[in-house]
Amino acid sequence: MLLHEIYQGLGEARFRDLLGQVSMGRLKTYQLYEPLKVRLHLNKLNAETLKKITPRLWERITGGDEEMATELAQAVLVTKLDVVMDVLDYLGVPHNEGFFDKDAKLMEHLPEGWEQKAYDAFHTKYSPALVLFYINHLAKEATDGTAALFLPATEAAATKA
């Protein structure tokens, strides 16, 4: 599964929620501010302009713009490294302040059903959209993109009905 497919699977409302959580200060700290501003075709990047262009960004996501999806994922995740670290610690995945080696064998640390357990543990502490996005992002990284979209058991049952 590609990142733009994760966003699509989670839906436009969650996408809007994720973009609303992006911190400009964190983007600047991690030197992602300027590259993201250029990728989004903006003269000025702030919370207000990001909110204003969300419908246009959603169109690009549904059009399959994977490069933009990747940069948005970086923006969201560096903004919320506390969530990333909490989830990784909970799952017992070795990391260095939320980052892990690209050669890491993540699946060795992810037992069956880890997605639902992590969601149950964190969806009331943090934004459910953020928790779902990170769980799916981690699954994508752990499986080299072959993981199916995870939705919580209650939603998965509702979509099957």
Domain range summary for the chain, segments of one domain joined by +: 3-79, 81-152
Q: What is the pLDDT of residue 105?
A: 85
Q: What is the DSSP string of the chain?
A: --HHHHHHHH-HHHHHHHHHT--HHHHHHTT-HHHHHHHTT-SS-SHHHHHHTHHHHHHHHHTT-HHHHHHHHHHHHHHTHHHHHHHHHHHT---BTTB--TT--GGGG--TTHHHHHHHHHTTTS-HHHHHHHHHHHHHHHTTT-PPPP--HHHHHHHH-
Instruction: Provide the b/e sequence for 83-112 (b: ≥16 CB within 10 Å).
Output: bbbbbbeebebebeebebeeeeebeebbee
- Asked whether residue 161 carries a pLDDT value surpassing 50, the answer given is no
Q: What is the pLDDT of residue 98?
A: 87
* Total-model pTM: 0.91
The model's pLDDT over 71-96, given as tens digits with 9 standing for 90+, comes to 999 999 999 999 999 999 999 999 99
Report DSSP state, residue 50: H
The Cα–Cα gap between 146 and 1 comes to: 6
Instruction: Provide the b/e sequence for 125-157 (b: ≥16 CB within 10 Å).
Output: ebbbbbbbbbbbbbbbebeeeebebbbbeeeee
Confidence category of residue 159, pLDDT binned at 50, 70, 90? low
Q: What is the pLDDT of residue 10?
A: 97
- Asked whether residue 157 carries a pLDDT value surpassing 60, the answer given is no
Q: What is the pLDDT of residue 102?
A: 73
The model's pLDDT over 85-125, given as tens digits with 9 standing for 90+, comes to 999 999 999 999 888 877 888 888 899 999 999 999 999 99
Closest CA to 40 of 7, 8, 68: 68
The model's pLDDT over 14-62, given as tens digits with 9 standing for 90+, comes to 999 999 999 999 999 999 999 999 999 999 999 999 999 999 999 999 9
